[in-house]
Structure formats: structure tokens, C-alpha cells
Amino acid sequence: MGVGVGPVGGAMVPSSVKPEPAAESPPAQPVTVTESDQLEEEDDECDKEVLCPICMQIIKDAFLTSCGHSFCYMCIFTHLQNKNDCPCCASYLTATQIFPNFLLNKLLMKASACQIAKRASPTQQLRQALEQGCDVSVKELDVLLVLLADKKRKMEQEEAETNLQIMRDFLHCLRKQKLEELNEIQNDLHYIKEDIHAVERQRIELYRARERCSVKLRMLSDDPNVRSSWPSLMDKRNSSNMSIGNSAHSQFRLGAAAGSHGRTADKPSPVTSQAVQRACSGSDSQNTQPGVSVARKRRVHAQFNDLQECYLQKRRYHARQSQKQEERDCTPVQREGYHPGLKDFQSILSSFTRYSRLRVVAELKHGDLFNSANIVSSIEFDRDDELFATAGVSRRIKVFEFASVVNENADVQCPIVEMPTRSKLSCLSWNKYTKSHIASSDYEGIVTVWDVTTCQSVMEYEEHEKRAWSVDFSCTEPTLLVSGSDDCKVKIWSTKQEASVLNIDMKANICSVKYNPGSSFHVAVGSADHHIHYYDLRNISQPLHIFSGHRKAVSYVKFMSDSELASASTDSTLRLWDVKENMPLRTFRGHTNEKNFVGLNVNNDYLACGSETNEAFVYHKDISRPAAWHKFSSETNEGEEEPGSYFISAVCWKSDSPTMLTANSQGTIKVLVLAA
């Protein structure tokens, strides 16, 4: 136990105090020694005289030697079995020359009884006296009983007062806590009332704007000049829609959908005021359908508790910020329209209720005819989202064209590039600047940079001693990449040199590494020690921060932004962290992940991951429960594993899009899109 010692206010050494001169000091007072201290000293002296020279304890069952020394019987008997001399004087001694010391035994027993009596409490002494038949008169007993009764009443009163004091303190704490909760509820009700008025005002403004538009349209429809010019405007609008539809048909090969938007009538229909209002209302027919509105309301009620928590969190945070600004500026903030907290929550509510399911857009089989191992360990889009690459235990990197996979209804999709590797692959990472470069990590610990145009490796790094689980190119410095391995090392590489640039030794296996998208100096490391280590590469002696919360190994780390970091673990949770404030933001639960790498990817407001139930899950970053999910069907052949053993093994979002790629351990890859 350490003791703080300092020049001021600390625990100081007593010897450092200087004594006053003898002439000026008062006469020394004699040191008083209490009777109890004197008795303790005498007892100690007595104990030293009756210690056994062998065991150095008070003699038990004393035996006297022929040379006059006393020992414990067992001590001297054991000694004489090995040597024939006295331990004290070294005189010749045998077992026949030791005799019981009855007098010493009697004295030791009396001394022990006296010491027990001296050290006993008054209650024990009284009890012993009564048990030993001490002569006490009835009058003395009455006095003792009165004293004991008074003592009992006093103790009961003190105990009752203590209990009442504890109860009083508890009730005060409870009252304080409930008042704080009441105050918080009153503030929340004030926020809700204020926001209801703001929403109502906004609705009234929208209604009035719509009425003004309707009046203007009616006036225009009644004007013969405008009515005569309206068909030509409608023809221009329809022709522009036709050109947009044709371009969409050529680009996405969605002829039916594009044709419906670009359909024109052979004869212009008569223009009425109702038609003009409908044409100029600008509202999306899909959003005005009652079924869509009911479905969105149903999603709100299904996730009401999470949405309530999100609303209150946003509202309280912005209220505190507004209060700090008012205190700093010493002037009240004049606000028009929505409160920033309500505006923030409105965008969350809108994006969360927009989608409720994952729709399958395309599907392809990744498996090889001659290779039964089909697990896709990694799937990644390239810089422009035109190509995506897959890798896994099949020892091949396959590159597909995304547009052809989505638009061509072929039973078998062939990769445009296929590169064989020496070992099973664990992770892929496209270079964020050089479109043709992709990095891979494999089960032998080799990190390779490939050129997909030539199908050749550009660089190979072989410093890892065990399996490398993760690799990632820097977004801000395209020549740098980071890797993590089972050898408990994080290594920084440069495509300009063969050896590693930097090495970080850690105490546990590395499962995932990721560069911060806004910096080439900051790296997040997911480890088997259940923690996320966030490093500044300019000082690797210790991490900037260690994020704790997961109960098992951290299998993935992904950045949602420069300040938000998502992590996945085999404790069946995802977590969101603020790397600038060094604090947890949210925990996501709903999927199952206890032993396998099931993938993690992020995009704008959404996180996607797999599950060991062969399902893909999507979470909104502000809601802890799943927003949508999709289950892969299991088609098994003879000799294959049971359907329950399949799991999602990789996921990847298309940038700034509700579209994602998902692969499972059976080798099936699906293109999924978030839908209402």
C-alpha cells in the first residue's frame, strides 16, 4: 500500500522534525506507562522465558533433560531420533535421559489461565465468575440486574435511533432522486409540448402553401391564354420524361419501369383544374398511399421505446448546448422553426421508417465444381463501386462486374478476373486511389498487394509468423496499409518498400484492423482480449484509448465517420463508439454470433452484419434493434452439412446506397436492397 509523501500536505517522516533548544524547552514530562502496558510487557518477558529452544513456541508437555534443559516432548523426541545431543549445550543425550517436568507444566497451565482471564472482556469475566460458583448476595444480584436492564434499554434506544437515522437518510435520498426524475420528466414534457406546437405550425404552413398553390392553379386554369399554352408544356414535360426513361433503360436495363415513366398519350387529354393541381402538387404517389403510411406508423410503434430514447437523448443534448450558448453569450437564443434536437430526430425517424425489409435483387453461386470449400470470408467493392471482389477458403480472388450481376439473368456468373493464391484468404481491401490494386491477407500470414489488370502480385509481405486476419488500405495515404495477425502483431506496410514500416506488439491475437478514414496516423485494432485499442501511429508506446464493453473477442472494427467507430464481437453484439470523446454510444442486439466471423460493414446511417442463423441484419445507427433482415434459404445436397450449420460470412455496402452484398458459408452471394 503506497503512502503519498510530498513537501506540502503529505505524510512526512517524523525524524525530519528538528528538536527545540534544551534551554528554551519546558521541563520534560515523565512518560506515564499504563498498568495494561506494563502487564503486557511482563507477559512478553514471561513468554520468552518459557519458549521451547527448538520450535520457539511456549512449551507444551514439558520434558526435562539430564543436563537441566526443558523442551516440548515432541520437539526433543524428534530431535533425539536424528541426533544424540542436547540442542542447547550439545551434551550427550538419549531418549532414556529425558523426564516429565510436572512443575513446569503446572505453572504453564496456571499462567495460561491467568492470561485468558486478564484478556477476557468484562462480560466474559462475569460469566466465568458466576459459572465458577462465586459467592454473590441477592442484593448484589438485584443491583447487577438493574444495571444490565438500564444498559439494555440504552443500547436498544441507540439502535432504534440508528435505524431511524438510516431510514431518514434513505428517504431523503429517494426523495432527491424522485425529484430529479420528476424535474427531468417535466423538462421532457416541456420539450414534447414545444415540439408538438412546432410540428403543428409546420403543418399549418404547409397547408396554407398548398391552398395558395391551389388558388393560383385555379386562376391559371380559368385563364384561356394559359389553358391554350398548357398542352405544349405538357408535351415538353412528357418528352423530357421519355428521354429520362430511355436513358435509365439503357443504363440499368429496366425497360418496363422506365417505359411506364416515359409513357405519352397519342391525344392530349383535356386540362382541368383538378388535373393541374395533381400535376403541380409534387407529392410522391408512393408516399401518399395509405398502406405505406400505416406501415411506417407500425414500425414506429414496434420500436417505440428505442425511438423514445433516441428522441429524448437528442432533445436533451441540444437543450444543454443551447443553455451553454445562452450562458456564454448572456442573451437568449431566438429560434424559428424546429429545435435542432427535433430536426435531428426527424431525419432519424424518416430514414428509420423508410425501410422495413431487404429485397433480393440478384443472386450468384460462388462455389467451384471441383472445390467443396465455398465459405466467402471477405467481399469488397472497388473505389468506384463498379467491381466487387470475393475471397475465402477456395484460395482464389474473384472479381465480378456489379452491373452485369444485377442486370443479367444468368444462372452462372463468371468473374471477369480470377487470381489463384497459395493459401486460404481471410480479408480483402481495395486501394482507395489506385483502382486496380487490391490487398489480401491469408492463413499463412502473408499480406499481398495484387494488380487485377495483370492478375499479378505487386508486393508480398511475409513478416507475420501466424495467420493474418485483417488488412486495410489507408484512405488518406494510398501507399500505406495495415495488417493484424494471430502472432499478436500489428504491422504498417508501404507499397514503396519490402519491409514493414512500423510494428506494434500486443498481448492478444489481432482479429481486425482499420484505418481512420480521415487520418493516416490513427488505427483501430480489434483484439481477442475483448477490447478495441485505438492507436496514434506517431506514438505507439501506448494506445490513445482502450474501448471496453464487449464480453468476447472483437472480430471486426469499421469506421462510420472520422469520429464514429463500429465494432462486432462474438458476444452477439455490435457497438458504436465515439473515438474523439472516448465514450460508448450504443449497443446493438438481435443477431446471433458466438464463434464465427459473420462480417460487418457500415454505410451512412446503417450497419450491416451477418448471423449464425444464416440471416443478414441491418441496424440504424441510432436504434439498437434491427431495422431489417433477410434469411438465406438452405439448399443441401447429399453429403453436405446440415442447414443449421450455415452462417453469413461477409457483408459489404455499396457506397451511399441502400444496396449491399451478402455472402454465406455455402458460397451463395446475394445483392440485397433496403425496401419499404
Using a 10 angstrom Cβ sphere, with 0-12 exposed, 13-18 middle and 19 or more buried, the burial of residue 160 is exposed
Query: 82 in a domain, yes or no?
Result: yes
Angle at the Cα of 528 from the Cα atoms of 524 and 531, rounded to 5 degrees: 50
**Which residue, of 87, 106, 121, is where some domain finishes?**
121
**Which residue, of 79, 95, 121, is where some domain finishes?**
121
Closest C-alpha among 390, 323, 324 to residue 599 = 390
pTM: 0.67
Number of Cα atoms under 13 Å in the Cβ half of residue 278: 7
Distance CA 192, CA 341 (A): 11
The neighbour count for residue 15, using CB atoms within 10 Å, is 6
- The enclosing domain of 612 has a CATH number of 2.130.10.10
What pLDDT sits at residue 280?
44
**Which residue, of 121, 144, 160, is where some domain finishes?**
121
Q: Cβ distance 550 to 600 under 8 Å? A: no
Query: 6 in a domain, yes or no?
Result: no
Query: 181 in a domain, yes or no?
Result: no
Query: 342 in a domain, yes or no?
Result: no
What pLDDT sits at residue 597?
93
Q: Which three cell numbers stand for residue 3?
A: 503512502
Q: Are strands 425-430 and 668-675 parallel, antiparallel or unpaired?
A: unpaired
Closest C-alpha among 474, 555, 480 to residue 519 = 474
Distance CA 646, CA 140 (A): 88
How many structural domains compose the chain? 2
- Residue 154's contacts (CB-CB under 8 Å, 6 or more residues apart) are none
In which domain, by residue range, is 466 found?
Answer: 355-675
Q: Which three cell numbers stand for residue 312?
A: 429524448
Using a 10 angstrom Cβ sphere, with 0-12 exposed, 13-18 middle and 19 or more buried, the burial of residue 548 is exposed
What pLDDT sits at residue 347?
86
Q: Cβ distance 474 to 481 under 8 Å? A: yes
Q: Cβ distance 672 to 660 under 8 Å? A: yes
Helix (H) or strand (E) holding 584: strand 583-589
Question: H helices of 594-671, where?
Answer: none
Closest C-alpha among 223, 262, 257 to residue 241 = 262
Strand partners, 38: none
Query: 9 in a domain, yes or no?
Result: no
Tell me the average confidence (pLDDT) per consecutive run of 10 residues in the chain, 676 residues long. Answer: 40 40 48 53 65 88 90 92 90 90 86 72 74 77 88 93 95 95 92 90 89 84 64 52 41 36 40 45 48 82 87 86 77 65 86 89 72 81 94 92 86 86 94 94 95 94 95 95 96 94 95 95 96 95 94 96 95 96 94 94 93 94 92 65 78 93 91 92
User: Chain centroid to CA 316: how far?
Assistant: 23
What pLDDT sits at residue 6?
42
- The enclosing domain of 92 has a CATH number of 3.30.40.10
Query: 418 in a domain, yes or no?
Result: yes
Query: 320 in a domain, yes or no?
Result: no
Query: 313 in a domain, yes or no?
Result: no
Helix (H) or strand (E) holding 79: helix 73-82
Using a 10 angstrom Cβ sphere, with 0-12 exposed, 13-18 middle and 19 or more buried, the burial of residue 576 is buried
Rama region for 130: left / alpha / beta (φ>0; ψ in -120 to 50; rest): alpha
What pLDDT sits at residue 514?
97
